[in-house]
Structure 1
Amino acid sequence: MSSRLLAISLSALLATSLALFSPPGHATDAARSLLDLHQLRLAAQKTLGDFYMYNGMEGDQRYARMIGQSLNEANARLEALSDMPGEGSKALRAQLTQQWSDYQGDLERLVGTLKKQGYTDLQPVADLAAENRQLMALCLELYNKIQQESGQQVAALTQQSREQSLLMQEIAVDYALRSASVGATFMGGGEVRPIEEMVTQFAEQLAAMEQTAQNSTQIKQTLSGISTKWRYIERSLMNYNENSVPFLVNKYSDSIIEGLERVSAEYAASQS
């Protein structure tokens, strides 16, 4: 199943659970907005990883298509964020729209440059990475503001699984960056956590998720599959300077995130 179709099916699952178990009105609207915003964060983060892969794999057109797919997903999620619960979230939503438009324009120009001349200058790529970090920070601010103004808090297990998805995406982006032709030169300043630290955190949190008492049989099976895939790439992630395998990490990280999003939807359904 493609990531786009998976996102649609997960949204349908959560929407069904909200309709069945949530009271009508703002709580349901807020839960849907928070899901859309989470998916927007994943897609926006992925566009940067897709770009690094496109650069590192010498213009492989599959990654150009993946950039387009991630942009389309992010745009669809942003468009779905229509009804904000308060003035603060409305202002942040407007700011996010502008920042996203600027970022998308810069990304598309860089993709065009790569297609035309086969390389890009370093500074625009560093600037794009900085823009992406700013987008992630703004998305998180809006995520928290929606919860504050609506009084609708994301349940702990659902939030835990969402954060794990975002961490996996962050790791994948970082690995793709390090595997790109100019490596860490693309970092563009700012605080970037060591990949070893992120890998250790992911492994510890995944182990904790597997021990969660509330896990259903289906969730246990999904987490077991995620764990198997994680172990397959964990050594490569920790030893990123040796035998770089960006295609493998990219493929498995996408699959791991899909599994985590299924777990997140199942937690949301059970906790509604």
Structure 2
Amino acid sequence: MPASCLRFPFLILAIVMACASLSARAQETPSAFLSDLHSFRISNYLALDAYYRFSGTGTTDTLNEIVAGINSANDAMNRLTQSTDEVLSKDQLSALSQEFEKFKGLMRDNINDVRTQGYPDLRLVSDMANQALAMNNMATELYLEAQESSQTQTNPRVEAARMAAVKMAQMMAKYAVRTNSSVSQTFQGSATETPLDAQAREFDALLEQVRQGPAEGELRALLDDISSKWQFIRGSYINYNENNVGFVIDRYSKAILSSLGSAIELLQNSH
């Protein structure tokens, strides 16, 4: 599949709305830089989650979700590299961009395998999983450095909500591996990652941090909705078994991500 294929027009899915909500930006300020870096991390996890499902189904809808995630991450990366805020150095952003290019190349190769052979090459999937882990670790380190910059101001509840969103996106991708027989044999990097049940408990703590503080009207409704949906799927993340309905977990997780994105916007606008 040519590189240009990752930019073709596609059916607008619910996942696109989650990405758009999470990447919503304020004016051109250093705080928008953090927002773009956050969107970059989330979008890549969404693309990875969609790929693991695509590897088992090969459907156009899941391919469109991969494209949406990659395009969203690409847009965020472009804004970061074109930023004049100098929150991070050009060398740091160039290094992250290079890691992203490697990830996109591996994603294209893996998509091509499924489309031409009907099944994934597990070695190549492993390479992509390792690259995603390295890239997202770098993005997280850069986010923390940008967060500490004197140019940025952070709201503790916004940061907790962003961390919760990243945690949810990580869990989605890992859950998709475990529920997809075609790639369940391989998930390199898992030995160095926090187990799924522990990640779920970390999400508990982050959500509690977001809920601590004033919440009225739309924000209260969003946080209550997030909590309700999380309680519905929490047990599936903590006590995984093959009888769980993967598409339900995926749908609720995406809804939580979208609501977290909306909550972040409200929390930012209230300060």
TM-score normalized by the length of structure 1? 0.86
- CA, structure 1 residues 97+10, in 2 after alignment: closer, same or farther (shift >3 Å)? closer
Q: Which amino acid aligns with 2:67?
A: G
Within a 5 Å distance, the mapping from 1:237-248 to structure 2 comes to 237-248=237-248
Question: Comparing both structures, which one devotes a greater share of its residues to helix?
Answer: 1
Q: Could you list the runs of 5+ residues in structure 2 that have no partner in the other structure?
A: 1-12
Q: Work out whether 1:154 is the aligned partner of 2:154.
A: yes
Partner of 2:64: 65
Q: Map Cα deviations across residues 3-47 of structure 1 (whole Å, 9 max, x no partner).
A: 4345546665x52xx5xxxxxxxxx52111110110111001111
Query: Residues of 2 paired with 1:135 and 1:239: CA distance?
Result: 29
Partner of 2:224: 224
State how many pairs are aligned: 257
- Displacement of 1:214 in angstroms is 2.3
- CA, structure 1 residues 62+101, in 2 after alignment: closer, same or farther (shift >3 Å)? same
Query: Residues of 1 paired with 2:244 and 2:183: CA distance?
Result: 12
- CA, structure 1 residues 29+132, in 2 after alignment: closer, same or farther (shift >3 Å)? same
Query: Residues of 2 paired with 1:127 and 1:101: CA distance?
Result: 14
Instruction: Work out whether residues 52 and 183 of structure 2, in 8 Å CA contact, stay in contact via their aligned partners in 1.
Output: no
- CA, structure 1 residues 207+144, in 2 after alignment: closer, same or farther (shift >3 Å)? closer
Partner of 2:8: none
Match of 2:192, SS state, is: coil
Partner of 1:21: none
Query: Residues of 2 paired with 1:262 and 1:89: CA distance?
Result: 30
Q: Work out whether 1:134 is the aligned partner of 2:134.
A: yes
Match of 1:174, SS state, is: helix
Within a 5 Å distance, the mapping from 1:109-258 to structure 2 comes to 109-182=109-182, 184-189=184-189, 190-210=191-211, 212-258=212-258
Query: Residues of 2 paired with 1:103 and 1:233: CA distance?
Result: 30
Partner of 2:10: none
Q: Map Cα deviations across residues 175-202 of structure 1 (whole Å, 9 max, x no partner).
A: 1010111454221145121111111222
Partner of 2:268: 268
Instruction: Work out whether residues 219 and 266 of structure 2, in 8 Å CA contact, stay in contact via their aligned partners in 1.
Output: yes
Q: Which amino acid aligns with 2:96?
A: L
- CA, structure 1 residues 59+4, in 2 after alignment: closer, same or farther (shift >3 Å)? closer
Partner of 1:22: none
Report the more deviating stretch, 146-155 or 256-265.
146-155
Query: Residues of 1 paired with 2:18 and 2:244: CA distance?
Result: 29
Query: Residues of 2 paired with 1:3 and 1:196: CA distance?
Result: 24
Q: Map Cα deviations across residues 157-191 of structure 1 (whole Å, 9 max, x no partner).
A: 11010000011111111110101114542211451
Query: Residues of 2 paired with 1:87 and 1:260: CA distance?
Result: 25
Match of 1:64, SS state, is: helix
Question: Percent identity, aligned pairs only?
Answer: 26
Match of 2:110, SS state, is: helix
Report the more deviating stretch, 77-86 or 108-117.
77-86
Q: Could you list the runs of 5+ residues in structure 1 that have no partner in the other structure?
A: 19-27
- Displacement of 1:61 in angstroms is 2.1
Q: Hey, which bits of structure 1, 4+ residues long, moved more than 4 A?
A: 5-12
Instruction: Work out whether residues 55 and 181 of structure 1, in 8 Å CA contact, stay in contact via their aligned partners in 2.
Output: no
Partner of 1:4: 16
